[in-house]
Amino acid sequence: MAMVTRILMVDDDRELCELLGDYLHNEGYTVEFAHDAEEASERLQRAERYQLMVLDVMMPGRSGLELLQSIRPRLTLPVIMLTGRGEDIDRILGLEMGADDYLAKPANPRELLARIKAVLRRAQPVARGTLFPDRIVEARGVVLDPGQRQVSVKGENIDFTGAEFNVLAYLINNAGEVLSKEQLTELVLHRPLSPYDRALDVHVSRVRQKLARQLPDELIKTHRGVGYQFLRGDA
């Protein structure tokens, strides 16, 4: 029997929830709703029940950003933020707090479905023959296990979101090579790079911050206007 993919949608707009929920239900997903952060917190007491959360930024009481901040890094549940159109600061803050992706409101059901599929795909094993590692990789004191989807430094595990893990996996497996932003966006976010899209940049920044807590040396170099490079020890 195929596993049911259960989504928690957190939004105070009940009409929008009904619209998006019906669409996703017709696509084979099970959707449950919470209409404020407190109700969502109660449902997340059983976080293993859900495979993904769709979370609105602006809600009465605690905002979606505050809810996200309260659950990370304790819960690694993938999260797609719904933000106001043009609210770049909310998108960046959401990614910095551990969201996997974002979508501007009013959310198009078909686009939301595409983002959900992309985010869920990031947590799945990647086919061999790609730039993704198919065995444990160790470089510059970082040990990445693609099978267990774990990263450790000096014997201590570091928590990464799905997107952050995949960013590091592609970069460390191709240490010394420059991977372009266009290439990494396609590989990690499963969509083309669009103008003013800073999602990949924020994910890379988060990876840097987490590694820097244990390893102060520069590990990931920015090649402005080109892409990113995981530096070899002799670089």
108 in the same domain as 35: yes
Taking the C-alpha atoms of residue 188 and residue 167, their distance in angstroms, rounded to an integer, is 6
The residue-averaged pLDDT of 137-157 equals 93
Instruction: Tell me what percent of the residues of the chain surpass a pLDDT of 70.
Output: 94
Average pLDDT over residues 10-30: 95
Decide: pTM greater than 0.85: no
Long-range contacts of 44-50 (CB under 8 A, 24+ apart): 44/8, 44/71, 44/75, 44/77, 47/71, 47/75, 47/77, 49/6, 50/6, 50/7, 50/8, 50/77
In a domain, 158, yes or no: yes
Answer yes or no: do 207 and 158 share one domain. Answer: yes
Give residues with Cβ within 8 angstroms of 119, minimum separation 6.
52, 78, 80, 100, 101, 162, 163
In a domain, 127, yes or no: no
Q: Give the model's confidence band at 181: pLDDT under 50 very low, under 70 low, under 90 confident, else very high.
A: very high
Q: Are residues 169 and 118 in the same domain?
A: no
Query: Does 214 score more than 70 pLDDT?
Result: yes
- 156 shares a domain with 91: no
Does 74 lie in the same domain as 173? no
Per-residue pLDDT of 76-131, as tens digits, reads 889 999 988 667 788 888 888 889 999 988 889 999 999 999 899 876 665 555 68
Determine the average pLDDT of the residues in 13-21. Answer: 94
**Is 128 inside a domain boundary?**
no
Q: Determine the structural domain holding residue 108 and report its residue range.
A: 6-122
113 shares its domain with 50: yes
pLDDT band of residue 196 (cuts 50, 70, 90) is: confident
Residues 61 and 93 in one domain: yes
Q: What is the pLDDT of residue 91?
A: 83
Supply the CATH number for residue 53's domain.
3.40.50.2300
Residue 170 or residue 88, greater confidence:
170
pLDDT at 231 over 80: yes
